[in-house]
Structure 1
Amino acid sequence: MLEKNILIRIRKDIEKCVGKKVKLRANKGRKRTVVRDGILEAAYPNLFVVRICNEYDSSRKVSYTYTDVLTGTVEVTVYSETQEKVKIS
């Protein structure tokens, strides 16, 4: 029951940040960690979508579940209007 409440809180925190710039740190396994900047595009009941743009003007979308945030596989840091970072966990 406690874990379900935590997932609901994480989902609500991410839903409030839709449209904002975020920094993702994703653990891909075997000591591989990917750090990307993007825009939080959408939040659905079971997952959220981030649009990542790179220096070559190509963009792609990645999706993660709220459980990924809970387990620490993905760390989401939201940039505020003053470019300070607010970590969601």
Structure 2
Amino acid sequence: MLFGNNQQRNLVCFPYTVNYFAVHSSNLVTKPLRMIQRNISPKQIYDAYTKGTKYSDPDYPKATVYHYKGIAVAREGNTLTTVYNQAKPKARWKKK
């Protein structure tokens, strides 16, 4: 997992329009709270996922990382596992 603990992350974003999308999570308090704490909007997540450069991370071989305008979104299967501010891609990431 990308957070360093073994809890499964179930944050999934479903785009409905260009400007709005709903966030569904198994834990409705902590997941959106992380976004708020990190000052990341749902639009930024959507843009990173749809417009971002795709990377693989050797430390997390099952995950794909999308990076766009300082936002990194990690995806494993159909689940977005984490989002965070990342000024530039990490050196260990490899373009897909």
TM-score (norm 1): 0.31
Q: Which has the higher strand share?
A: 1
What is the TM-score with the length of structure 2 in the denominator? 0.30
Structure with more helix by fraction? 1
